Amino acid sequence: MTTIPLRVAGLSWRVRPRAVAVTLGGLALLGLLMALNMRIGDIPMSLSQVLGGTFDVNSADHFVIMELRLPRALTGALVGAALALSGAIIQSIARNPLASPEILGVTTGASVTVVAGVVASGSAYGGVSGLLSTLGIPLLALLGGLTGAVIVYALAWRRGLDGYRLVLVGIGVAAVFTNVKYWLLTVGDVNDTGRAMVWISGSLNGRGWEHVVPVALALAVLVPLTLLGTRSLDALRFGDDTVTALGLRMNPARALMILAAVLLAAVATASAGPIAFVALAAPQVALRLTRYGQPPLLSSAVVGAVLTAAADLIARTVFSPIELPVGVVTAVLGAPYLIHLIWKARK
Amino acid sequence: MTSTAVTPRPHGVQHRRLTVLLVLLGAVVIGVVLSITIGAKSVPPADAWHALTAPTGTENDIVIRSLRVPRTVLGVLAGLALGVAGALMQGHTRNPLADPGLLGVTQGAAFAMVASIILLGASSLLAYIWFGLAGALIASVGVFALGMVGGRGGPTPVTLALAGTAVSAFLYALTSAIVLLDEQAMDVFRFWQAGSIAARGSEVVWQVLPFILAGLVLAMVNAPGLNALALGEDVARGLGQNIALTRTVGVAAVTLLTGASVAACGSLAFVGLIVPHLVRPLSGTDHRWLLPYSGLVGAALLLLADVIGRVVAPPGELEVGVVLALLGAPFFVVLVRRRKPVRL
């Protein structure tokens, strides 16, 4: 691993050219995908039309671009980034490539709450009514996600936090949430089940600015915070005992990082549902592309954004007019690529 | 990591282990008795005995012989299979998050069954257990082959686990796409997903029995090799282990056990995820004991959860998967909190 030290006014950073290249390359690809997402749809547009629609308020395309396509594409990219970042943090803390926000109770908690809401208030009229329409699915998901995380955290805390115990408690709580979710899906009307399944898979259908803003805010606050914690995460790789012996105070740093991971996943899930596979795959893809020993945070976020943006483009165009939930496509797209990377590394 | 594979143990330890084994066996027997006698129609033990030994075609005899017995046998088989498969899987991947469906077994079965519904127009998943089994086997072999390619001495645990997760996610996505586009498939799939051992009938039991028996034999054969592998691949090789063979046998066992169980009973794979963690404090990390303990605890838990599911929500039933999660998981969490976890 080549590393270039960068020193400015007494502070020093390690710069890894490969990670920088992956991040910048990912951002370029993301830009391209966003542009395509703007152009392709029921009304195909040229790039000049897109630009005209973006900046000219009186243009006929203004509504399509600014109210439909841009917020949706942004929600996808931001949610993908947030989930991937959350996954990268959790995989580092648990020191386990199979870990994802699921074991923190966030996505499973959100899923079970939303399914319960849809099944309880979904009615024969085919619409969403009652409590759910007042609260809204995003708020319900946020509440469920945070509650799930609090439960896991409280149960895992015992004179400090141990990565291994967190994983085990997470498995137990996730098992309860998941099976209650399965049960709720069998209780309701099959139409409600279908609606709930779309949300569980993760969908960007009809997402507007109200879905963009919370995720953007969360990322704006939490990305710098988590980058500050990178050093602690790097140290964690050596195991709790070694870290303690080295004299690092791990509990505060680790608690903050877990909190950040929980908030990122909760806000992202509230906006677009628990988009499958991004949180697990993006960090592993980023890790292999940058050849780190541990999921790199920033590169993971960029990979997550690219994966989700690309999946959304496919989800809404390939089977048009039928639109697939984006979470169905992220796995179809991400899994072969991850397998390819694993396979390549073995040669 | 301690292993008792090579060091002889004092008689006390061996004695204690046999006692635990007998206690667990007793728990399974109690589970069987409860499962046969309790339900929507309660049958006194004497009548149950009558039905089993000298049936004369009374109502109780029919209930017992055509409903309760197949259901109970399937519960025992699936519990044994999933418990053992979970312990094997966690041993081979050395990952506490590994469930026995990790290599794509569960999702392979789900995809094959749902695909057969829309292609062949069946109204029940149970008609397609063969497809489920085939799907499970193909997915698992595919993942294992993927891990084998280019590797020396077999795939490493991490690549195996990751490749399995990726393939599972891929298959799950395809399954979701199908059920979202086809309401009838969705209606069948959601009940399979919840997991149940009810209303399977004896033909299902006969269908999965050979696979599970073969899987159990392979698993026990695999135990000593797995103990050596737990010391690290280099040490195991030094001890004369054929690592590729040990891994292959292990994966074959997991695939047979899990594939047969999920094809018949739905996605109950988390039984295999949780049970080994429950059992490790009792058994230690010696797989020769961990595997049978896990199987017995799995069977006892599955039967108990199924019986509870029958009586808590009359006149209906609660799916065994839900009861098991609500019952087993909190117990599991308490256990994790009280003791220092036995690490893999």
The string of pLDDT tens digits covering residues A232-262 is 777 777 777 777 777 777 777 788 888 999 9
**pLDDT surpasses 60 at A1:** no
- Nearest Cα neighbor of B99 from B271, B247, B292 is B271
User: Which residue is associated with the tokens 């209906």?
Assistant: B316
B49 Cβ under 8 Å from any chain A Cβ? no
pLDDT for residue B1: 43
pLDDT for residue B340: 67
On chain A, the residues whose CB falls within 8 A of the CB of B330 are 172, 176
pLDDT in tens, B154-163: 567 777 888 8
**pLDDT surpasses 60 at A128:** no
A334 Cβ under 8 Å from any chain B Cβ? yes
CB < 8 Å from B in window 114-143 of A: none
A190 Cβ under 8 Å from any chain B Cβ? yes
B321 strand-pairing partners? none
Encoded tokens for A327? 């979470």
pLDDT for residue A303: 95
8 Å CB contact between A140 and A117:
yes
Encoded tokens for B9? 């143990």
**Across the interface, which of B150, B177, B187 has its CB nearest the CB of A190?**
B187
pLDDT in tens, A140-149: 889 999 999 9
Which of the two residues, B330 and A9, has the higher pLDDT score?
A: B330
Alpha carbon of B186 to those of A186, A317, B189: distances in Å?
A: 10, 23, 5
**Across the interface, which of A176, A190, A280 has its CB nearest the CB of B325?**
A176
On chain B, the residues whose CB falls within 8 A of the CB of A97 are 158, 161-162
Q: Do A339 and B322 touch (CB under 8 A)?
A: no
Rounded mean pLDDT, A174-193:
85
pLDDT in tens, B99-119: 888 888 889 988 998 888 888
Rounded mean pLDDT, B286-291:
90
pLDDT for residue A211: 84
Mean pLDDT of chain B, nearest integer: 83
A161 Cβ under 8 Å from any chain B Cβ? no
**pLDDT surpasses 70 at B151:** no
Q: Do B194 and A185 touch (CB under 8 A)?
A: yes
Q: Which of A83, A98, A166 to mutate to test the interface with B (most CBs of B within 10 A)?
A: A98
Lowest-pLDDT choice from A47-56, A76-85, B273-282: A47-56
Q: How far is A196 from chain B (nearest CA, A)?
A: 10
Lowest-pLDDT choice from A138-147, A159-168, B266-275: A159-168
Domain spanning A72-346: CATH superfamily? ABC transporter involved in vitamin B12 uptake, BtuC (1.10.3470.10)
Q: Do A197 and B95 touch (CB under 8 A)?
A: no
pLDDT for residue B154: 53
**pLDDT surpasses 80 at A313:** yes
How confident is residue A125, by pLDDT bands cut at 50, 70 and 90? Answer: very low
How confident is residue B123, by pLDDT bands cut at 50, 70 and 90? Answer: low
Encoded tokens for A236? 């964690």
pLDDT for residue A130: 52
Rounded mean pLDDT, A10-14:
69
Q: How far is B332 from chain A (nearest CA, A)?
A: 7
8 Å CB contact between B333 and A172:
yes
Which of the two residues, A312 and A47, has the higher pLDDT score?
A: A312
Q: Name the percent of chain A lying above pLDDT 90.
A: 22
Q: Do A182 and B195 touch (CB under 8 A)?
A: yes
On chain B, the residues whose CB falls within 8 A of the CB of A164 are 96, 341, 343
A55 Cβ under 8 Å from any chain B Cβ? no
**pLDDT surpasses 90 at B281:** no
Q: Do B330 and A324 touch (CB under 8 A)?
A: no
On chain B, the residues whose CB falls within 8 A of the CB of A345 are 159
Lowest-pLDDT choice from A126-130, A149-153, B40-44, B214-218: A126-130
Chain A: residue whose CA lies nearest to B339 = A165
**pLDDT surpasses 50 at B4:** no
A14 strand-pairing partners? A5
What is the spatial distance between Cα B43 and Cα B34, in angstroms, rounded to a whole number? 10
Residue A188: HSE in the Cβ half-sphere, 13 Å Cα cutoff: 26
On chain B, the residues whose CB falls within 8 A of the CB of A171 are 96-97, 273-274, 277, 332
A180 Cβ under 8 Å from any chain B Cβ? yes
Q: Do A339 and B163 touch (CB under 8 A)?
A: yes
Q: What is the set of domains in chain B, with CATH numbers?
A: 15-338 (1.10.3470.10)
pLDDT for residue B163: 84
Encoded tokens for A101? 């926000």
Encoded tokens for A216? 């953007």
- Output phi, psi for A168, to 5 deg: -65, -45
8 Å CB contact between B39 and B322:
no
8 Å CB contact between B212 and B263:
no
**Across the interface, which of A179, A193, A336 has its CB nearest the CB of B186?**
A193
Q: Do B170 and A331 touch (CB under 8 A)?
A: yes
SS3 A314: helix
**pLDDT surpasses 60 at B3:** no
On chain B, the residues whose CB falls within 8 A of the CB of A195 are none
Q: Name the percent of chain B lying above pLDDT 90.
A: 17
On chain A, the residues whose CB falls within 8 A of the CB of B172 are 276, 331
pLDDT for residue B300: 93
- Nearest Cα neighbor of B38 from B48, B26, B25 is B48
